[in-house]
Amino acid sequence: MFLAEKQPMKTFALAALIAFLTSSFAYADELADKVDPLARPYVESQTVVGMTIGILHQDQTLVRGYGQISAKDTSVPNGQTVYEIGSISKVFTGILLADAMVAGRVSLVTPVDQLLPHGTRMPRREPSQPIRLWHLSTHTSGLPRLPDNLQPANPENPYADYNEERLTQFLAKHQPRKRPGEAMAYSNLGVGLLGNLLARERQVDYETLLRQRITAPLDMADTTIKLQSPQKARLAGPHVAGGSPSGNWDFDSLAGAGGIRSDMDDMLKFAQAQLHPPEGKLGTAIDLAWQIHQQPLNTNDFAKGLGWHVARDGETRWHTGQTGGYHSAIFVNRQQNVAVVILANTATEEIDALAEQLVRMLVGVPEKPRQFPKLVEVPAEIMQRYVGQYQLAPGAVFTVTREDNKLLVGLTGQSTFRVFPRSETEWFYKVVDATLTFHLDKNGQCDSVVLFQNGIRQTAKRISSAD
């Protein structure tokens, strides 16, 4: 009798589960049909090499990959593809500040001096007005965007050798130009310092603090600073805007400003925790960081949480991030129960427009796919005519090379970037607002190239050819 009574309940539960899964799959397919047309133009136009999009909407989840993992690896990125998330790291650092506050270890008004190494004291514009921890998290500290002693051995990995010693040297001598709280000015230095101080207070490094207080409790095993071998194997290749391969960035003392790497599966766990904070101290810290702690100080400012920017609607929290070869964006709205995360392996701010499009689409606003300029197909033999060196000024030489159907241009002392054709002779950069126009002589040979940038035209004469 007992088994006979229970069997219908089991059958009903199984039927309900099947119905739920069928409904979820149908919803995912329906949502993908809306996301794909908005995302594909970014890959088709070669604006990005590859990206992963993650969406939480009405308690449903969608993960979609587009493009390819790198210029050489044509595999499509997925939820386990690892990216540098850049300045989204600042949101994690804001939550770490809130976590320390919940634990009673610091407060918003704790002076920075109190957590600095013994004997180090920062100069003040006014003796009675120290920089406090909330100033660092809300970009109101008066500190510059970057320290003036950031002099990397490798400019393409600018933070790698900025260590504790250099940071302490800067803080000891820096003369602030503004009082704390006087103005809002984005500062990688300020938030990097905050992460450093919070780790110092716990007597651990930033990566350990991140793992202990956020990523381990949220089961985010692939969110870290230094990658292990299996994670390195899943790391998407970095590219500058335009698609040329670039390098990875590493962080030392300023890791809290931009040093985190993650994948979409982990970032959606993080986004879910922002929508529905877990019980306990971490959830309390997430809620505390979510709150508005700084109102705009002028019309161009956004209100700030701890790490979060607050959109004009007062509800959406967002942040973006960019390193030398990646771009990321996260938008979260509790009221609409919506989160959008994009991780891209190309350093282009165009990704932000896509993230905003997706958020609007999810709340019911009709969105049309973006239209990018169509690229002209230029035969390889014509591109080959341009290959060579062109002298712009003494010590400044353009070097033009070709890789298959790509034209690459480097200037002395700068990185090499891909340029794109508007015609057979006019080419444009995606990393800067500039064009190059190749001039052909009567024999069809290229004898010069004209750079047009900031309203100024400069001619570089050819000094060598591909031969």
**Sorting pLDDT into bands at 50, 70 and 90, what band is 143?**
very high
Q: Quote the pLDDT of residue 13.
A: 64
The CA radius of gyration of the chain, in Å to the nearest whole number, is: 25
3-state secondary structure of 224: strand
Q: What does the domain layout of the chain look like in residue ranges?
A: 82-362, 380-465
Span 27-69, pLDDT tens digits: 778 999 999 999 999 999 999 999 999 999 988 999 999 999 9
**Sorting pLDDT into bands at 50, 70 and 90, what band is 280?**
very high
| DSSP single-letter state for residue 212 | I
The yes-or-no answer to whether 82-362 and 380-465 have a common fold is: no
Amino acid residing at 207: E
Alpha-helical (H) ranges within 64-123 are 89-102
Instruction: List, in order, residues 6 or more apart from 430 with CB less than 8 Å away.
Output: 47, 241, 242, 348, 417, 418, 420
Q: Quote the pLDDT of residue 127.
A: 75
Span 256-267, pLDDT tens digits: 999 999 999 999
Q: Quote the pLDDT of residue 57.
A: 95
Q: How many residues does the chain have?
A: 467
Element (H, E) at 271: helix 264-275
Percent of the chain scoring above 90 in pLDDT: 81
d(CA 142, CA 137): 12
Q: Indicate if the pLDDT at residue 466 is higher than 70.
A: no
3-state secondary structure of 318: strand
Q: Indicate if the pLDDT at residue 395 is higher than 70.
A: yes
Pick the CATH number of 380-465 from 3.40.50.1100, 3.40.50.2300, 2.60.120.10, 2.40.128.50: 2.40.128.50
Residues 408-425: b if buried by 16+ CB within 10 A, e if exposed: bbbbeeeeebbbbbeebb
**Sorting pLDDT into bands at 50, 70 and 90, what band is 15?**
low
Report the pLDDT averaged over residues 427-455.
Answer: 92
Q: Indicate if the pLDDT at residue 467 is higher than 70.
A: no
Report the pLDDT averaged over residues 184-210.
Answer: 97
Q: Quote the tokens at residue 229.
A: 């071998």
Q: What is the pTM of this model?
A: 0.86
Percent of the chain scoring above 70 in pLDDT: 94
Q: Quote the tokens at residue 236.
A: 């998407």
**Sorting pLDDT into bands at 50, 70 and 90, what band is 3?**
very low
Q: Indicate if the pLDDT at residue 278 is higher than 80.
A: yes
Q: Quote the pLDDT of residue 4.
A: 42
Span 302-351, pLDDT tens digits: 999 999 999 999 999 999 999 999 999 999 999 999 999 999 999 999 99
Q: Indicate if the pLDDT at residue 6 is higher than 60.
A: no
Q: Quote the pLDDT of residue 29.
A: 87
Q: Quote the pLDDT of residue 17.
A: 58
d(CA 467, CA 464): 8
Pick the CATH number of 82-362 from 3.30.420.40, 3.40.710.10, 3.50.50.60, 3.30.470.20: 3.40.710.10
Name residue, tokens 């391969």: 245
Name residue, tokens 């406090």: 132
Residues 182-197: b if buried by 16+ CB within 10 A, e if exposed: eebbebbbbbbbbbbb
